Amino acid sequence: MKTSYDIILKPVITEASMARTASQKKYTFRVASDATKVEIARAVEELFKVKVKAVNTISMKPKQKRMGVHVGKTSAWKKAIVTLTEDSKTIEFFDGMM
């Protein structure tokens, strides 16, 4: 059985994700590759004590990187964009980032 900490790995902090946080109550997380939308919603509700309206997931493909003549790839990962309800409070962790 996966815990909430096994599903939500870390937040994604970029300019685009922080802009969505401020205006639309959308929070972006890096999640386990085998996590479903229902599991992600439950994990966010349990960890941050908020109400989730919707979860959108994106499977990020690996990118090719070069280091001189050597060629490799970054790892593939899964991103989740979690939308909160209008009456839900914000996630405090992201409030400190703005």
pLDDT in tens, 38-80: 999 999 999 999 999 999 999 999 999 999 999 999 999 999 9
DSSP-derived pairing of the beta strands 52-60 and 64-67: unpaired
Task: Tell me the one-letter amino acid at 66.
Answer: R
CATH architecture, range 4-95 = 2-Layer Sandwich (3.30)
Using the predicted structure, report yes or no on whether residue 1 has a pLDDT greater than 80: no
82-77-43-50 Cα dihedral, nearest 10 degrees:
-20
Percent of the chain whose pLDDT exceeds 70: 98
Q: What is the pTM of this model?
A: 0.89
Contacts of 83 (CB under 8 A, 6+ apart): 24, 25, 26, 52, 53, 54, 55, 56
Confidence of residue 94 (pLDDT cuts 50, 70, 90): confident
Confidence of residue 98 (pLDDT cuts 50, 70, 90): low
pLDDT for residue 43: 97
